């Protein structure tokens, strides 16, 4: 190293570091023990990226610093914050993963490596199924839930600063964010993050619509605010009179969901009535139902829109009572009532309420894995968790029977674990399998029986007058579970054998 790191000493801390510390203090009482490590990562990243600039002209360090700041919003631990500060060091500077492991810890190096690995995978398809496969693959490749969480923060900051990139890149990144990252964040219950990602994606993918909505809403903002203040005021008063102390937030639904409503119902903005929503946070479950009753006394509910996710918690743990009422002037207002504990879970990424809004997805196996991931996030946040215990459980063994690989065009193909290059050829097309004479994995020529791993890109070399070899039967792991039909192929081999 050509630079020296200064001791952890409050006199040395620049303002930026103090801001970061302040943010961590909001949720971590033990920050004092962690300061030396965090301070080291801060300086290390600053030095490593010295002289590098983003397209916007800002020093590169701004990006990694802001990524870490976003993670404080999600109450992430110090290890994760350090990894966030260092997340682009291996990719963009001469510093290796080994150096990070030595200077910091193997865990931090492992997280940085994971983020680097995910960063190398690019999504470039507008097909829904591809997006779903891609989301699965991210989970598979991430190996550790924290890798994914850092990646979300990294992506959010890149989205916030997308304006300075060329248009083509803006589009690609925005599509990837909308189709892959936002739905994944939604499933992990990282609701705030998801909404911001979606709004930013809309801004870059449909700038005219975004500007239109922004104008409409800002023109009505005062009116909407006055309306919601009046509405929440009435509810607050009623609850107080009945001895219920509640925290009530009014909120405007985010642009992307308003836009989706306009599209789905084919209605102009003026006819979308339920752009307003409120949350009522109370102390106990009994108060949730009590508040519901009092609110229904004030405003008429729409019976079809009533949902009790407290009595019937979702399989992912989400709990709240939802009701839509007719507010003053006939406006529809969605109300979510929950306890503080339920609220905290729903906000910071434990409870995802994805099922009822993302009805398109009903992949149960993915749901199960997500539940498991969510439990991990839970553990990650609990103070009582024992470090080595949860390091063990943090290893993601999702989809352990499945791998995800790419065609040269970047299409994603999922195969059973243990699949070879030859399996891949048949998975793409029987004809390609039959005519296959060789394969390149990640641009290197390899034998056809080479076992593939997730993230590999495979190119199959074919020849029009080639026929399959009997030996191939030994290489394919197809045993009836494969997606393609292997029978014509065996038939072909027999024919071919008879012919020679
Ligand atoms: Mn980055």
Lowest mean pLDDT of 66-70, 101-105, 340-344, name the range. 340-344
Centre of ligand 1 to C-alpha 41, Å, is 15
CB 71 within 8 A of CB 149: yes
Going by pLDDT thresholds of 50, 70 and 90, the confidence category of residue 404 is confident
Centre of ligand 1 to C-alpha 56, Å, is 14
Q: What is the pLDDT of residues 43-59, one digit of tens each?
A: 999 999 999 999 889 99
Q: Given this model, what pLDDT does residue 389 score?
A: 43
pTM listed for this prediction: 0.67
Task: Say if residue 385's pLDDT is above 50.
Answer: no
Smallest CA-to-CA distance from 425 within 400, 401, 449, 395 is with 449
Token pair, residue 329, equals: 């002037």
Centre of ligand 1 to C-alpha 206, Å, is 25
Centre of ligand 1 to C-alpha 154, Å, is 5
Task: Say if residue 362's pLDDT is above 80.
Answer: no
Q: Given this model, what pLDDT does residue 317 score?
A: 61
Centre of ligand 1 to C-alpha 153, Å, is 9
Percent of the chain at pLDDT > 90 equals 32
Centre of ligand 1 to C-alpha 382, Å, is 27
**In whole angstroms, what is the distance from residue 366 CA to residue 115 CA?**
21
> In the chain, where are the structural domains located?
10-188, 207-349, 400-498
CB 458 within 8 A of CB 406: yes
Q: What is the pLDDT of residues 319-333, one digit of tens each?
A: 899 999 988 888 888
CB 178 within 8 A of CB 196: no
Which residues are the active-site residues?
91-92
Q: Report domain 10-188's class.
A: mainly alpha
For 188, 256, 337, the CA distances from 252, given in Å and listed in that order, are 22, 11, 16
Q: Is the dihedral of CA 408, 168, 257, 192 positive or negative?
A: positive
Neighbours of 487 (CB within 10 A): 8
33-53 burial string, b = 16+ CB within 10 Å, else e? ebbebbbbbbbbbbbbbeeee
Q: What is the mean pLDDT of residues 461-479?
A: 68
Going by pLDDT thresholds of 50, 70 and 90, the confidence category of residue 380 is very low
**In whole angstroms, what is the distance from residue 113 CA to residue 45 CA?**
15
| CA 294 to the chain's CA centroid | 37
CB 103 within 8 A of CB 48: no
| CA 494 to the chain's CA centroid | 48
Q: Report domain 400-498's class.
A: alpha beta
Centre of ligand 1 to C-alpha 23, Å, is 20
Mean confidence (pLDDT) of the chain: 79
Q: Given this model, what pLDDT does residue 133 score?
A: 65
Centre of ligand 1 to C-alpha 481, Å, is 39
Centre of ligand 1 to C-alpha 265, Å, is 38
Q: Given this model, what pLDDT does residue 484 score?
A: 46
Centre of ligand 1 to C-alpha 387, Å, is 27
207-349 folds as Beta Polymerase; domain 2 (3.30.460)
Neighbours of 424 (CB within 10 A): 27
Sheet containing 247-252, strands listed edge to edge, beginning at the edge strand earlier in sequence: 247-252, 276-282, 332-339, 321-326, 307-308
**In whole angstroms, what is the distance from residue 74 CA to residue 82 CA?**
14
């Amino acid at each position: 190293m050509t630079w020296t790191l200064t001791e952890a000493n409050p006199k040395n801390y620049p303002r930026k570091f103090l801001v970061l510390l302040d943010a961590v203090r909001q949720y971590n009482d033990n920050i004092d023990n962690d300061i030396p490590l965090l301070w080291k990562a801060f300086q290390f990243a600053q030095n490593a990226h010295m002289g590098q600039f983003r397209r916007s002209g800002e020093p590169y360090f701004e990006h990694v610093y802001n990524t870490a700041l976003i993670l404080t919003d999600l109450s992430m631990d110090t290890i994760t914050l350090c990894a966030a500060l260092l997340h682009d060091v291996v990719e963009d500077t001469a510093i290796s993963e080994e150096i990070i492991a030595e200077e910091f810890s193997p865990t931090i190096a492992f997280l940085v490596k994971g983020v680097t690995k995910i960063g190398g995978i690019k999504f470039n398809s507008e097909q829904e199924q591809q997006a779903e496969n891609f989301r699965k693959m991210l989970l598979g490749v991430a190996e550790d839930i924290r890798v994914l969480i850092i990646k979300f923060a990294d992506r959010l900051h890149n989205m916030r600063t997308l304006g300075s990139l060329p248009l083509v890149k803006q589009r690609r990144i925005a599509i990837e964010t909308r189709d892959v990252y936002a739905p994944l964040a939604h499933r992990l219950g990282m609701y705030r993050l998801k909404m911001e990602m979606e709004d930013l994606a809309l801004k870059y993918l449909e700038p005219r619509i975004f500007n239109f909505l922004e104008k409409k809403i800002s023109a009505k903002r005062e009116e909407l605010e006055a309306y919601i203040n009046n509405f929440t005021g009435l509810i607050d008063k009623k609850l107080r009179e009945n001895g219920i102390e509640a925290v009530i937030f009014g909120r405007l639904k985010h642009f992307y969901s308003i836009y989706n409503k306009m599209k789905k119902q084919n209605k102009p903005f003026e006819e979308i009535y339920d752009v307003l929503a409120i949350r009522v946070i109370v102390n106990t479950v009994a108060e949730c139902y009590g508040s519901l009753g009092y609110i229904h006394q004030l405003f008429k509910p729409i019976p079809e829109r009533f949902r009790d996710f407290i009595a019937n918690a979702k399989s992912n743990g989400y709990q709240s009572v939802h009701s839509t009422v007719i507010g003053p002037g006939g406006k529809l207002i969605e109300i979510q009532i929950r306890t503080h504990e339920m609220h905290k879970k729903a906000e910071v990424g434990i409870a995802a309420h994805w099922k009822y809004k993302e009805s398109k997805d009903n992949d149960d196996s993915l749901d199960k894995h997500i539940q498991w991931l969510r439990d991990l996030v839970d553990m990650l946040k609990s103070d009582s968790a024992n470090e080595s215990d949860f390091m063990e459980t943090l290893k993601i063994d999702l989809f352990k029977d499945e791998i995800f690989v790419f065609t040269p065009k970047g299409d994603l193909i999922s195969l059973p674990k243990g699949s070879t290059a030859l399996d891949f050829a048949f998975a793409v097309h029987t004809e390609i399998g039959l005519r296959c004479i060789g394969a390149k994995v990640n641009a290197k020529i390899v034998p056809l029986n080479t076992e593939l791993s997730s993230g590999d890109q495979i190119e199959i070399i074919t020849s029009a007058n080639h026929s399959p070899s009997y030996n191939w039967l030994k290489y394919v792991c197809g045993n009836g579970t494969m997606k393609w039909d292997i029978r014509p192929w065996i038939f072909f081999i027999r024919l071919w054998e008879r012919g020679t």
